[in-house]
Amino acid sequence: MGEDDGHPGNADRDTRRNSREDEIAGGNIMRRHIAIKPGIRLIPPRAEQTRRLFMKQVLQRMAEYNGKSADALLAIIEKAPADLRTKDVGLFYKSIDGTVEHMAWAFALWLKRFSGFGSYPCLAAGGMLSRPLEEIGAEIKSDSVKATALLREANALIEQFVNELPVVEFERRVSYRGNDGKVLERTMWHAIFHVLNHGTHHRGEISAVLDQNGIANDCSGFSLYIH
């Protein structure tokens, strides 16, 4: 049920709870009126810090899982028949190789965006981040070896980024231009979660193709890679 669930006793109970605070002092209960706007929760500083640390730990484990599960899947893909990897099997990016190519390019795109949100040592100019995105895309196009290498590099870099990012940064509002040129604004941790979830989505697509062709794979289980 939602916050307004229609229960007749809820309104009175919430009014009493929000209109006074019981405070025990010297064995006596003192009541003092406090003003709390409906829907507003007061979170103690220590609890807020704990919440942020938990958020970071979740994203750290997700980034670790992203890298390990991708490595496992890429190792299977590398051994798969070449004609299967390049075959148009109806995926959004047509083939297995086309999907890996897209994943590598998309991760590079997002790492470049992250590097523009602040000064982060691990995202300092160097490697893929020092090159124009168009150049990266042209280099990996129809080259599965280079696309695979780029994806592995990008996965390692985003894991390092999440590990090094200060906890206060996760709730920053950041802005960037979408592919259509429009300026978008997001919360940092939402953007990171989006990228990691994006990888899970495409690995699932590839896994289904491998299943359909009798190639053993089991790269989706979070608990298999994170203990």
The per-residue pLDDT for range 128-142, each reduced to its tens digit, is 898 999 999 999 999
pLDDT score at 26 = 43
Report the C-alpha gap between 39 and 15 in whole angstroms: 12
State both tokens at 156. 């390692």
**pTM of full prediction above 0.95:** no
Determine which of 48-57, 69-78, 103-112, 138-147 has the lowest per-residue pLDDT on average: 48-57
* CATH number of the domain enclosing 125: 1.20.120.450
> Is 80 exceeded by the pLDDT of residue 2?
no
* Total residue length of the chain: 227
Q: Which residues span the domain enclosing 35?
A: 1-42
Q: What's at 84, amino acid-wise?
A: L
Q: What is the DSSP letter of 99?
A: H
The per-residue pLDDT for range 147-191, each reduced to its tens digit, is 999 999 999 999 999 999 999 999 999 999 998 999 999 999 999
- Mark whether 156 and 76 lie in a shared domain: yes
**Beta-carbon contacts of residue 153 (< 8 Å; ≥ 6 apart):** 127, 128
Q: Which of 64, 224, 70 is nearest to 158 (CA)?
A: 64
- Mark whether 23 and 53 lie in a shared domain: no
- Mark whether 7 and 113 lie in a shared domain: no
Which residue do the tokens 């599965």 mark?
A: 144
Q: Which of 91, 104, 72, 80 is nearest to 220 (CA)?
A: 72
- Mark whether 194 and 84 lie in a shared domain: yes
| Number of domains the chain contains | 2
